[in-house]
Amino acid sequence: MALKTREKPETQSQSVSIDLPLAQIIPILLIAGLGFMVDVYDIVLFAVVRQPSLISLGVSAQNSLNAGVFLLNMQMAGMIVGGILWGILGDKKGRKSVLFGSILLYSLSNIANAFVPSIPIYWALRFLAGVGLAGEVGAAMTIAAEITPRQYRAYGTAAVAGLGVFGAILASYVGGLLAWRIAYGTAGLAGLVLLLARMSMKETPLFSKIVNNDRLERGSLRLLLSDKGRVWRLVRCVLAAVPLWFAIGVVVSFAPEIRGGGNVALSVAAIALSYSFGETTGEVISGILSQLLRSRKKAMLLFATGALISAFLVLTCPVEYYRLLCLPLGFFVGYWSVLVTSAAEQFGTNLRSTATTLVPNLVRASTIPITILFSSISAIWGPVAGAMLTGGVCFAGAFISILMMDETFAKDLDFIEV
């Protein structure tokens, strides 16, 4: 259960003001957003350079689907490990420590990725890059949620998410322009530059308020999973966001396999660029809409409905409209920013980093069963049917989960889990 910190005598003496001036909030949001941007840049970059990198390393065109699925799943497996590692560290040692450690591991892995000589080493480096990436989104959104005044919280998280998803646009352009090895190198160097920019960051006031309380359990998977209510909160947050990773992990990444052939050639780079423009806009608009509606749930339901319709149209339209229709698909799955904001609002300060980091990485890890289901059905009924049936499962889980969520709009985040 959740308990307000002001009701605990041992935390009263540590009371600090959590209202930061705007001049301090904006630079923190900017640095958090740039971390999110590097994170999304890498994920979309991999989708764009997947085929040329595999072909360069000796994988035949007919084996690219299975090899690409396995390579993607290695990265997502790394994100599961990293989601646990960085989430716990963020609650035990601080939000700032995650932003430093995760970006350093990611940067070094991607620089090494630029020199990868074989498929097995490619697998290993994508796994390590996944571990590093896992800390960025959760830490960024935790920080944004904790420093932005609660009545404007979705604006802060939407700004971070919007800046983050701009990385998808950049990756779509860079991945289509540069050779795949050089593209990976740019991702690693950008991470190191961001590491330097974070040197001056301070901890959030809410974490500083509890850091010296030795009697308070922080960053504990045992505590997170010991209560059925907390477990179901976590599961609902994960399932609600799965359509995003169906969209990027199947509809965008495997577009050539789904609707390729014939007279129209499908470029993942071009499709990802169209999709990313839509998602960048959707991340911002969904956050604004949740503020105007004063509801996280209503905004998510409206956008999820639009995403379902858009996905159906993409998979059934004439192939020449595939790229164009991926733009509204990206826009409507942009409720991701509202979902992660809601996840941060559902857990106390001593578990907020753990949960908020774990949720997006479990969502990303859902790519593993999603792509396995997609490839299995595709082998029997073809890739279009595989994509449609896989999407149906993803959206069904999302709608049920959103409907069952608690409304968290403008919730006071000054509470702990016991």
Within a domain: 168? yes
Q: How many domains does the chain have?
A: 1
Q: CATH code at 131?
A: 1.20.1250.20
Within a domain: 142? yes
> Does position 113 have pLDDT exceeding 70, yes or no?
yes
Q: List pLDDT tens digits, range 129-149.
A: 999 988 887 788 888 888 888
Q: What CA–CA distance (Å, rounded) separates 389 from 383? A: 10
Q: How confident is the model at residue 19 (pLDDT cuts 50, 70, 90)?
A: low
> Does position 389 have pLDDT exceeding 90, yes or no?
yes
Q: Which domain holds residue 35?
A: 18-417
Q: What CA–CA distance (Å, rounded) separates 252 from 271? A: 6
Within a domain: 318? yes
Q: How confident is the model at residue 14 (pLDDT cuts 50, 70, 90)?
A: very low
Contacts of 26 (CB under 8 A, 6+ apart): none
CA distances from 81 to 78, 124, 132, 133 (A): 5, 13, 9, 11
| C-alpha 39: how far from chain center | 8
Within a domain: 341? yes
pLDDT of residue 261: 60
Q: List pLDDT tens digits, range 54-65.
A: 889 888 877 777
Within a domain: 227? yes
Of 182-186, 252-256, 259-263, 335-339, the one with minimum mean pLDDT is: 259-263
Q: List pLDDT tens digits, range 224-238.
A: 999 999 999 999 999
Within a domain: 2? no
Average pLDDT for residues 362-369, to the nearest whole number? Answer: 85
Within a domain: 230? yes
Within a domain: 331? yes
Q: List pLDDT tens digits, range 21-63.
A: 777 788 888 888 888 788 888 878 887 888 889 889 888 877 7
Asked if residue 258 lies in contact with residue 383, where contact means CB atoms within 8 angstroms, the answer is yes
